[in-house]
Structure 1
Amino acid sequence: MLVVHLALAGLASLAAAEPLLTTRALRDGVPALPLGLHRHLAAQERAAAQLAQGPAWPAGADQLAFSSAETVQDYPAHTFQQLVSHDPAVPPSTPNATFSQRYWFDASHYKPGGPVFLLDGGETDGAGRIPFLRQGILAILSRATHGLGIILEHRYYGESFPVESLSTDDLRFLDTRQSLHDSAHFARTVKIPGLEHVNLTAGSAAPWYYIGGSYAGAKAAFARKLHPDVFDGAIASSAVTTAIVDFWQYYEPIRASAPADCIERLVESTSLVDTMLALNSPFLTPPLKALFGLDNVTSDADFVNALAIPLGSWQARNWDGAVGSSRFDAFCAALTNKTSTAIAASALSDSLVAAFSPTLGATSFPQDPRKAIASLAAYGEYVKQHVAPLCPPDESQDACFGTDEYPGDALDDYEWRSWAYQFCTEWGYFIGAAPEGTPSLVSRLLTVEYTSKICRKAFPPGELNRVPVMPNITAVNQLGGANLSHSRLAFVDGSEDPWLYATPHSPTAPNPHRKDTLKRPFKLIKGGVHHWDENGLPPGRTEPPEIAKIHRAEVDFVQTWVSEWREREGGKGKGRWRWKGALAGGAGDGEGEEGAREVGRWL
């Protein structure tokens, strides 16, 4: 990606091209957040987006272009007066204080009596989820059921703030349960503009279904368990229902699924870098850093953290090339290119082999030094060309890639600060090196001590609130973890998702191959990455078979849930539904209505 001081023509080019790295990928896929680099990327994204789309473009999209000015204009934001605190133990300064929480809706498919689908915006600007309303999962399900689609922005993200700053004290109202109570309170009391005459009260007048991906997917699962009287069902996509402090497993799906030659070279190069840094030699460390174009990164840990940046592009892959990234493929192609760095590698190997071969023991020295160093040179060339230039020429590399300074508590800092607070207090997910004995894609200098230091540096103790020494993951895991299950709760995951080991489909889960039924759907998208079922295509375009298959399945089980709700409520004298069609046998699990699938339509 080009530096921030680009000419107007350069910005236009940047807006049209796929970026090397988004702020979201940097925040979620790199072990420690280099805040200086994050701020530079954010400035570039805002400038490029405004140039390409105008000021209505929302910030903080997950991938490349999930949002546009047109989508924002078609779906204007509305606000709901949400309670600042639902927890008596954490009272606001003014009793029953409220704040404006944004939401968006689409009633174009709605017919009276239809269900309501509430999509949790998660840890980002809620406007970035609007395409899910326009052509993604909300549109797909609303069209199939005459339903109403809603996106609710998460507290402390986008423009939904109950406080004036993001100081440690002001962050005291930010936790998973508070946000779950937000959703339940919204569902019980909201009046949708234009539908004020319709009773949409959750739990009694209309069935509500909670939808979310990643952290918001975990919330969808938790909402079904904690508020079953409000949410009749939920779809939890890539739901990280298990909080983990040392989440080295983030890289395991990459190691298992990426091209074997690429992974072999990456693991070998990473090990070689660690071996060379361990020597602490003034004759080796500076030329090693120079090889990667990171000559002036002082800390060895910050240096190897920067080397992990290309791995963040794995999570940004998507079945739809318009919103996904192909950068990981380019990274692997560079690592496995056998000719482009041959000359440089040959010269480098002669000097490096001579420099450190006498120093290393036989077990540490590569069996084929020249091949190993050729791979290292290819890795270095890629980082030198694509990562090092992310730092503007008028900034020091320590200012860009350093991880010792985390100043700022303004609301504009929410893109990094709000989620950092959440993982520091409840979720963990400190991503780093694999344990000894397991091949590691990243340096073993990336320890939990290093990756968690943002918690100590960004959130000093306040008068009313303090961040624990280590996250209280019990607050999350007591809700069910990888074993969480509930009627009308669907789990949809991707087999290549780097977050797989935090989901119920984790290979280490108690039952990663549980039965898949209409009442308890348990779906794994082969080759899928991160909540791939949530985005869709506009009419006229054909989805890949695996995505079309999962969307058909979601329509099928949701139609069944809605049918069952109408039967239940009709039996209580509340429904006036007439069924046209018949029930056909389904994949039952022995729980009564599970054995029937609707064939027909509700009138």
Structure 2
Amino acid sequence: MSNSNRWRPLASLLPLLLLAQASLATLAITSTELQKGVPALPLSLYRHLRRAEQQQALALATPTFLDDASSQLTFAAPAPAYQAHYFDQLISHDPEVPPPAGKTTFRQRYWFDAGYYKKGGPVFLLDGGETDGAGRLPFLKEGILRILSEATGGIGIVFEHRYYGESFPVDDLSTDSFRYLTTMQSLQDGAYFAENVKLPGLEDVKLTPNKHAAWFYYGGSYAGAKAAFARKLFPDVWWGAIASSAVTAAIVDYWEYYEPIRLHAPSACIDLLQNHTSVIDSLLALDNPLVTTSLKSYFGLPNITLDTDFVNALSIPLGSWQARNWDSEVGSSAFFDFCDTLTADPEEVTKLGGLTTTVLEFVAQAFPSWPKDPRKTFASFSAYAAYSKDKIASMCPEDEEQDDCFGTDAYGGDGLEEAPWKSWSYQFCTEWGYFMGGAPEGHPSIVSRLIGTDYTAQICEKAFPPGKLNSVPSTPNTTAINQWGSFKLQHSRLAFIDGSDDPWLYATPHSPHAPNRTDTIKRPFKVISGGVHHWDENGRLDGDVPKAIRKVHEDEVEFVKAWVKEWEERGRWKTGAWRD
């Protein structure tokens, strides 16, 4: 029997599925999580969630900084607040891409803390990455910047990335206006800043890189890759760098984003999710209007027209895996709430909506991939559907159509207020890729195989129509990034810190695809067991941190102190010998 014919009897069963009920744990999906692990961004839903978050922050009168990146966590604003400063940055460092007539610089925002500074101490610059830099201020107060500055008598700086927050060299976000947004331009921003900035109140303090002060670059995720690239490309500016969860390899089809989730999430949950995903794909493959309509209705999403948009909506909970953090006040437990829903023990069969043993046996025959005991699997499938109704469908406002909320047809808007989603989209469309979808055939998948790069990359064409001065390539130019070393990138006084469970692990030098290397003081190479995304970046003033995080912070202090000592002793070496 063909796969298509084998599934056709299920059309008559779907009305029965509509009777199933399940108890669901509370799950809050944020705009940040929606950007993180969902293959294609439903822009209308993202905007709705973001507005709701901003309104809630205002209602609570709390100065919460909403993190806008596809790969960053949200942190509460620190107190006391740090004053924002502005640096006159060059609009373009590339003579082949000249700035607009009559304007050569823009105001690039930064913050700093010199409270621990001692004469001759180092400077630590933290790259804000693809987000509003204000969201990185907690790292000055109790995160990696405070830890390293306090240990070495240094200065901590949060440096906002061009085209994010308030640091815009342009007045709009048309395709032409994005011509100054490249990874190299942003790397040159950091070098130019380090060589020319005069910190307010410290104007008389000489901080010239590698002459009067040792400068260190820190970044997490995309900014982590930049830290690594900066050390390699500008060694005369950056004495050292810490690259946390550094995605040094640009990859077009990044289906392996979901591999660490599949491998490290609770196995019972993953087994069920793989099964449910396969079943849903098989039902949709029938291309039977009754089956498709019944299935979508069962999951509370009857008015999503495209099957790809439907399965994309079902992948929303996976974004909460990356939102985990060792600090419960920062991270989210939403993924485990989702898994608890799928793996909850079924009660009496009568509570599954009157499904009889005969029906369950038929389901087991029609779905040979299901376990021998179909009761728990069917109950889990029902719970998945009820979860979708309660936690996914409900995110769409009652006055909006589901196609408008969960569809991916409209990616409009050129105003600067669109930067939270549009700036990083431009970057991955032009240089980085990272289009996430289902695994290849023959490999287990927790995301629908209907989602491929043709679906996830559609934002590139729709959001960035060709301009007069700039256009987006048909395929991201990953060579522009990978030419700097990719998986093999290494350099003296360059540390790589990764988490074993990070969905971005397969794009870092700790990837299974990368060559093995040793961990040394000169070239630290460390993995946080059970860690996710740049877990070393945040800290707590009360010292209440897990043993693994305390250890990595201690290691970072140790090797940075060793690097600072090298800086202090450099004059004893042969002239120029330290430039390695």
1:273 counterpart residue number? 280
2:242 counterpart residue number? 235
Q: 1:464 to 1:522 in 2, by over 3 A?
A: same
Which letter maps to 2:213? Answer: A
Q: 1:297 to 1:559 in 2, by over 3 A?
A: same
Which letter maps to 1:143? Answer: E
Which letter maps to 2:283? Answer: M
Correspondence for 2:398 among 384, 393, 396? 393
Q: 1:438 to 1:461 in 2, by over 3 A?
A: same
Is contact 1:67–1:127 with CA below 8 Å preserved after alignment? no
2:537 counterpart residue number? 534
Aligned-pair distance for 1:271?
0.3
Is 1:87 the counterpart of 2:89? The answer is: no
1:311 counterpart residue number? 318
Is contact 1:341–1:377 with CA below 8 Å preserved after alignment? no
Is contact 1:345–1:370 with CA below 8 Å preserved after alignment? no
Is 1:473 the counterpart of 2:478? The answer is: yes
Correspondence for 2:37 among 10, 19, 29? 29
**TM-score between both structures, scaled by the size of structure 2:** 0.91
In structure 2, distance between residues paired with 1:269 and 1:120 = 40
Is 1:452 the counterpart of 2:457? The answer is: yes
Question: Aligned Cα RMSD in Å?
Answer: 2.5
SS at structure 1 position matched to 2:107 = strand
Aligned-pair distance for 1:93?
1.6
In structure 1, distance between residues paired with 2:548 and 2:103 = 47
Q: 1:65 to 1:443 in 2, by over 3 A?
A: closer
2:75 counterpart residue number? 66
Is 1:520 the counterpart of 2:523? The answer is: yes
In structure 2, distance between residues paired with 1:178 and 1:65 = 26
Which letter maps to 1:168? Answer: T
1:78 counterpart residue number? 85
2:137 counterpart residue number? 130
Matched-pair identity in %: 59
Aligned-pair distance for 1:133?
0.7
Which letter maps to 2:339? Answer: C
Aligned-pair distance for 1:67?
2.4
Is 1:224 the counterpart of 2:231? The answer is: yes
SS at structure 2 position matched to 1:445 = coil
In structure 1, distance between residues paired with 2:347 and 2:400 = 30
Structure scoring higher RCO (CA < 8 A, sep ≥ 6) equals 2
Is 1:552 the counterpart of 2:557? The answer is: no
Aligned-pair distance for 1:95?
6.5
Q: 1:148 to 1:351 in 2, by over 3 A?
A: farther
Where does 1:149-228 land on structure 2 (aligned, <5 Å)?
A: 149-228=156-235
In structure 2, distance between residues paired with 1:134 and 1:537 = 9
Is 1:338 the counterpart of 2:338? The answer is: no
Where does 1:385-424 land on structure 2 (aligned, <5 Å)?
A: 385-424=390-429
2:307 counterpart residue number? 300
Deviations 1:90-113 (A, max 9, x none): 111236600000000000000110
Structure 1 spans left out of the alignment, 5+ residues? 1-16, 575-590, 595-603
Q: 1:593 to 1:59 in 2, by over 3 A?
A: closer
Q: Greater CA deviation, 494-503 or 291-300? A: 291-300
Aligned-pair distance for 1:24?
1.7
In structure 2, distance between residues paired with 1:44 and 1:462 = 33
Q: Greater CA deviation, 57-66 or 96-105? A: 57-66
Aligned-pair distance for 1:569?
3.7
Q: 1:191 to 1:339 in 2, by over 3 A?
A: same
Correspondence for 1:39 among 36, 40, 47? 47
SS at structure 1 position matched to 2:216 = strand
Which letter maps to 1:522? Answer: F
Which letter maps to 2:134? Answer: A
Q: 1:95 to 1:18 in 2, by over 3 A?
A: farther
Is 1:508 the counterpart of 2:513? The answer is: yes
Deviations 1:368-416 (A, max 9, x none): 6554432211111111111111111111111110011101011000010
In structure 1, distance between residues paired with 2:328 and 2:294 = 38
2:116 counterpart residue number? 109
Aligned-pair distance for 1:286?
1.4
Q: 1:426 to 1:573 in 2, by over 3 A?
A: closer
1:53 counterpart residue number? 61
In structure 2, distance between residues paired with 1:226 and 1:491 = 16
In structure 1, distance between residues paired with 2:259 and 2:347 = 29
Where does 1:349-360 land on structure 2 (aligned, <5 Å)?
A: none
In structure 2, distance between residues paired with 1:342 and 1:354 = 13
Is contact 2:67–2:73 with CA below 8 Å preserved after alignment? no
Q: 1:265 to 1:92 in 2, by over 3 A?
A: same
In structure 1, distance between residues paired with 2:357 and 2:507 = 44
SS at structure 1 position matched to 2:208 = coil
Is contact 1:236–1:491 with CA below 8 Å preserved after alignment? yes
SS at structure 1 position matched to 2:336 = helix
Q: 1:522 to 1:341 in 2, by over 3 A?
A: farther
2:4 counterpart residue number? none
In structure 2, distance between residues paired with 1:307 and 1:164 = 37
Q: 1:113 to 1:314 in 2, by over 3 A?
A: same
1:256 counterpart residue number? 263
Aligned-pair distance for 1:277?
0.7
Deviations 1:42-73 (A, max 9, x none): 1011111122234x4333266775122x54x5
Aligned-pair distance for 1:343?
4.4
Is contact 1:67–1:129 with CA below 8 Å preserved after alignment? no
Is contact 1:125–1:159 with CA below 8 Å preserved after alignment? yes
1:562 counterpart residue number? 564
Structure 2 spans left out of the alignment, 5+ residues? 1-24
Q: 1:282 to 1:352 in 2, by over 3 A?
A: farther
Is contact 1:164–1:411 with CA below 8 Å preserved after alignment? yes
Q: Greater CA deviation, 344-353 or 189-198? A: 344-353
Which letter maps to 1:280? Answer: D
Which letter maps to 1:142? Answer: S
Is contact 2:214–2:567 with CA below 8 Å preserved after alignment? yes
Q: 1:173 to 1:49 in 2, by over 3 A?
A: same
In the alignment of these two chains, the number of paired residues is: 554
